[in-house]
């Protein structure tokens, strides 16, 4: 049986069976109606057009060509740098998989079935403050939410990602401890201390940090003789205390604290000299009627 004739597509890429002269090939590429005599004219027209474009490009200012070349190089460098960043992340992930995941496979398989953390951490979004690094939390040990200035809005403030996380952690995961961590050089607290009495509603940051306005007022009153930087440091800790008070405005949190099944803690991480302060709200000894101050216990300073 004779082999079927090749399709036009296979003929286009099967050069080993195409022994036609080059000029005939060119005629086919330029169009099926070109004759061999017309092919040379087509070549001349192509060459003329190319020379015209080259001459036009040579008339451009030399600086423009250099600028275009520089932009191409900058774009290429940025692209390569971006690839390098993710290449580094890839190696970090693979190292985690090799050294952590595979070596603790049973633990991670248990986590795949569900989580039961003892802690909920509320920390700042600041890239210099990573609770898992500074406190050594391992996967499954702490449910975390991070926001600007580690603030907790009151129950009456309405829905936010922070109180949504609180509801899930307390009511579903049954965490036993909530730890609010403040830190040194907090930009969110600095924005809070810098803002005027009238909040700029067009700024998302100002509209958020106003949650800590009571801490700002107390700081202004108690530390008015200090420098602005010292006032900010004072407010970084004061805002943690007010976040602990705000936690008690959630009925299901206060109920569990009163029952003794949930504890509220404050923390302060100073990344300048790498120290950590920790304290616990003493619910029974606190005067909740004034809703401004509370007693603390179990204070520690780690250095």
Where residue 187 falls among pLDDT bands split at 50, 70, 90? very high
Per residue in 235-246, pLDDT (tens digit) is 999 999 999 999
The mean of the pLDDT values for the chain is 82
Please, which residues have CB within 8 angstroms of residue 210's CB and are 6 or more apart in sequence? 192, 195, 199
Rounded to whole angstroms, how far apart are CA atoms 224 and 212?
17
pLDDT at 12 over 50: no
Surface-to-core class of residue 16, CB atoms within 10 Å of its CB (0-12 exposed, 13-18 middle, 19+ buried): exposed
Instruction: Output the pLDDT for position 15.
Output: 40
- Provide mean pLDDT across the span 21-29: 39
Confirm whether residue 235 is marked as ligand binding: no
119: nearest Cα among 100, 133, 140: 140
Residues pairing with 277 in the sheet: 268, 301
Instruction: Give the orientation angle of helix 228-247 with respect to helix 187-194, to 10 degrees.
Output: 100
What are the angstrom distances between the C-alpha of 55 and each of 58, 63, 157?
5, 17, 69
Topology (CATH) of 119-302: Beta-carbonic Anhydrase; Chain A (3.40.1050)
Is 185 marked within a binding site?
A: no
Instruction: Please tell me whether 183 is known to bind a ligand.
Output: yes
274 is in an annotated binding site: no
Q: Is the pLDDT at 16 greater than 60, yes or no?
A: no
pLDDT at position 286: 80
Residue with tokens 């299901």: 252
Selected residue with higher pLDDT from 62 and 24: 62
pLDDT tens by residue, 103-144: 999 999 999 999 999 999 999 999 999 999 999 999 999 999
- Looking at residues 150-178, what average pLDDT do you find? 97
Decide: pTM greater than 0.85: no
Least trusted range by pLDDT, from 6-10, 55-59, 221-225, 260-264: 6-10
Question: Quick check: 191 pLDDT over 70?
Answer: yes
- What is the model's pLDDT at position 196? 78
Q: Where are the domains of the chain?
A: 119-302
């Amino acid at each position: 049986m004779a082999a079927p004739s090749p399709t036009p597509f296979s003929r286009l890429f099967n050069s080993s069976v195409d022994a036609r002269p080059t000029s005939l090939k060119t005629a086919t590429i330029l169009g099926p109606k070109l004759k061999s005599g017309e092919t040379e004219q087509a070549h001349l027209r192509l060459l003329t057009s190319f020379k015209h474009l080259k001459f036009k490009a040579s008339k451009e200012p030399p600086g423009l060509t250099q600028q275009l070349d520089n932009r191409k190089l900058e774009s290429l460098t940025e692209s390569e740098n971006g690839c390098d960043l993710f290449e580094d992340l890839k190696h970090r992930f693979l190292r985690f998989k090799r050294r952590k995941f595979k070596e603790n496979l049973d633990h991670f398989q248990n986590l795949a079935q569900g989580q039961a953390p003892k802690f909920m951490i509320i920390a700042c979004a600041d890239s210099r403050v990573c609770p898992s690094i500074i406190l050594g939390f391992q996967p499954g040990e702490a449910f975390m939410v991070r926001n600007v200035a580690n603030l907790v809005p009151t129950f009456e403030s309405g829905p936010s990602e922070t109180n949504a996380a609180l509801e899930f952690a307390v009511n579903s995961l049954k965490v036993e401890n909530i730890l609010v961590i403040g830190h040194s050089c907090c930009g969110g607290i600095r924005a809070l201390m810098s803002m005027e009495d009238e909040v700029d509603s067009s700024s998302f940051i100002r509209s958020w940090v106003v949650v800590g306005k009571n801490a700002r007022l107390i700081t202004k009153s108690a530390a008015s003789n200090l420098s602005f930087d010292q006032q900010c440091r004072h407010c970084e800790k004061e805002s943690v205390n007010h976040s602990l008070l705000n936690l008690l405005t959630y009925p299901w949190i206060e109920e569990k604290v009163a029952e003794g099944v949930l504890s509220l803690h404050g923390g302060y991480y100073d990344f300048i000299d790498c120290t950590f302060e920790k304290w616990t709200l003493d619910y029974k000894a606190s005067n909740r009627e004034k809703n401004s101050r509370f007693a603390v216990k179990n204070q520690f300073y780690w250095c």
